[in-house]
Amino acid sequence: MNINLYVNNSQNNVVNKDISLVQSLTDSHLLKNVSNNTLEIVVSYNENYNKVNYLYIPHFKRYYYITDITYSQQKLIITAKCDVLMSFKSQILQSEQIVIAQENTGDMYLEDATWSEDSRQYVRNLYFDEDHFNHSQDCYLLAVMS
């Protein structure tokens, strides 16, 4: 079975992972399905594999996180869990969804948005332009019946 071993430099929640190919193997074989999306794969030992943390199985069309590597009889047993984000990134990116938060754009005036404010306040005073009632304008008035 063919597999490609990578170094993944991205966080798990990144859809399009930043990966660097380390080695393409043709002699690996599937040991067992641990669960629906977790596999164990056996590959020949190579010390360079210590740094790999990601793999791709073309036959399955899926990318996998390497969750464990154990050594046994000159072989490496790799436990891998499917990365559904990378594996199905095309479908994900082409899908239309209700997006409630985005990093670079949004409606900053939404009522349910949350920021924090501390106890201090900025206070600014602004005079109106005119000063019609300045004390220099005061006067005495006498009102009488004419």
Residues that bind another protein (CB under 8 A): 10-11, 13-16, 18, 20, 36-37, 61, 82, 84-85, 87-88, 91-113, 115-135, 137-146
* Nearest distance in Å: CB 71, another protein: 30
Complex with another protein: residue 21 or 45, whichever CB lies closer: 21
Neighbours of 56 (CB within 10 A): 22
Complex with another protein: residue 43 or 83, whichever CB lies closer: 83
What is the chain's length?
146
User: What does the alpha-carbon distance between residue 90 and residue 80 come to, in Å, rounded to a whole number?
Assistant: 22
* Amino acid letter, 3: I
Complex with another protein: residue 42 or 84, whichever CB lies closer: 84
Show the tokens assigned to 42. Answer: 């056996």
